[in-house]
Amino acid sequence: MTTNGVHLETVPHWIGGASVGYTGATKSEIVDPATGHTLRTVELGGADVVDEAVASARSAAEAWASTPTPVRATILLAFRALLLEHTEELTSIITAEQGKTLADARGEVARSVEAVEVATSAVQQLKGEFAEQVSRGVDTYSFRQPLGVCAGITPFNFPVMVPVSMFAAAIACGNAFVLKPSEKVPSASVRLAQLFAEAGLPNGVFNIVHGGVDAVNALISHPDVSAISFVGSTPVAREIYRRSAEAGKKVQALGGANNHLVVMPDADLDAAADALVSAAYGAAGQRCMAVTVAVAVGDIADQLVAKTARRAEDFRTGPGNADGSDMGPLISETAIERVRGALDAAADQGGTVVVDGRKNSTEAAGHFIGPSLVDHVRTDSDLYKDEIFGPVLSVVRVDDLEEALRVVNASPYGNGASIFTASGVAGRRFAHNVRAGSVGINVPIPVPISWFGFGGWGDSRFGDEGLNYDAYRFYTKAKVITQRWTEPRQGVAPNFVAAGSQ
């Protein structure tokens, strides 16, 4: 494809350990959100490409499943070392296609390294249980085995971390994997595949098919795919969960979110305001764990809004690769329109726009919009109910912790929720009663270290197993063995004998 006479590179699929491209394939443009310019194109695969990738995975799956777990872990360790070595390269790919700041992208790569570290401990994760003498001469034991071919479908906001958290765990468990990355940010995944191959991963164990809905449909209906991992928006997650389950597959589908941060009257308000702007506007609000609602408890609301507003006004919007940018652009013009529409409606539905990011949309061609803060947001307003996925923070005012919990728990989503307080009693009560998968106490974005599971409640996750530490159960199935060995007659053996001769 050419744009303005310039020939654009095309991001290839990755099948059987090599880049694969097809002449005449439909392509989609990858746009740098900071400039609006097309960087390159990506092939959009359909059922035929998915068939090829799944066949490649299937042909590699058996040998990979038989490869001893510590040998698999050694390859993952080599992959980890390459991720560290290529951190800056991966960081700049993320920033160019997704738009987040280089510092934030670097953090994403660091979190991916952590996910690989957890995957290298597969020997420990896959250990089963043993019960001796459950009947006379009978023992029962269990272990876990891989599923075969697993597939992952990932969103645009974490081009490296979400794919890695899926495929590192699945592959460590002895599965082969087919990844369908977001067509908006596809380049990083191909670089990951090259690095994994360099680390010694056998051909076919990891494959990538680029594309959109057609590729997803082909994966979830493919008879040789045993499990589907999905991360994206709630409507798509719900549908993928339903259809994959109907097709008899294991499925985990993580969806969208609206995360609350409750600020108690005894909290350090400066720390809370710092946390609010970081968690609401970092990555331009395009994180599933971004804070979208500040719940101000008691009489501190005016002070909290004033402190947060000052910080929001100082938050610098600019290209992700520019020094001094606190947040980059949104992924697309459509996303900008969604934020504008939400702010337009907010005022009509009772909200007070205290900081208006629309005034800050200065970069001509890029998808920039500044941070917004809206006070007195009603819980029946569209701004409160919809997932805006942009740099907009709503403030809801309540009288006490009980009312705060009622507000948080009435949300259909349950990805993350936090409280800022000086009281251990309030913190514990919040942690015990709040309906959310990840909970923070004086921590604004409580994404747990990968040694714990990750996944929300309610409409934020369909399926009962999450990512990271939970993934080992998802990517394996248990087998329970009950055995009886009758003792062979030993006969008379009065002397020492050589080892192994009996």
Summarize as ranges the residues that interact with ligand NAD (CB under 6 A). Answer: 153-158, 162, 180, 182-183, 212-213, 216, 231-233, 236, 254-257, 288, 387, 389, 415, 456, 460
Cα gap 421→418, rounded to integer Å: 10
User: Which CB atom, from 119 or from 236, has the smaller least distance to ligand NAD?
Assistant: 236
User: Which CB atom, from 228 or from 297, has the smaller least distance to ligand NAD?
Assistant: 228
Q: Which residue is nearest to ligand NAD (CB)?
A: 232
Annotated active-site residue 150? The verdict is no
Please classify residue 81 by burial: count the beta carbons closer than 10 Å to its beta carbon, then call 0-12 exposed, 13-18 middle and 19+ buried: middle
Give the DSSP letter string of 74-131. Answer: HHHHHHHHHHHHTHHHHHHHHHHHH---HHHHHHHHHHHHHHHHHHTTHHHHT---EE
Closest approach of ligand NAD to the CB of residue 2, in Å: 25
Structure token digits, residue 145: 């085995």
Q: What is the dihedral of CA 343, 348, 352, 358, to 10 degrees?
A: 30
Closest approach of ligand NAD to the CB of residue 220, in Å: 8
> Which residues is 140 bridged to in the sheet?
131, 482
Closest approach of ligand NAD to the CB of residue 166, in Å: 11
Cα gap 450→162, rounded to integer Å: 12
Long-range contacts of 244-249 (CB under 8 A, 24+ apart): 244/220, 247/220, 247/221, 249/220, 249/225
Three-class secondary structure of residue 233 per DSSP:
coil
**Mode of pairing for the β-strands spanning 13-15 and 18-20:** antiparallel
User: Which CB atom, from 74 or from 233, has the smaller least distance to ligand NAD?
Assistant: 233
The count of other CB atoms within 10 Å of the CB of residue 87 is 17
Closest approach of ligand NAD to the CB of residue 482, in Å: 39
User: Which CB atom, from 47 or from 78, has the smaller least distance to ligand NAD?
Assistant: 47
Closest approach of ligand NAD to the CB of residue 485, in Å: 47
> Which of 15, 288, 346, 417 is labelled catalytic?
288
User: Which CB atom, from 64 or from 472, has the smaller least distance to ligand NAD?
Assistant: 472
User: Which CB atom, from 229 or from 421, has the smaller least distance to ligand NAD?
Assistant: 229
Closest approach of ligand NAD to the CB of residue 40, in Å: 17
Residues annotated catalytic, as ranges:
288
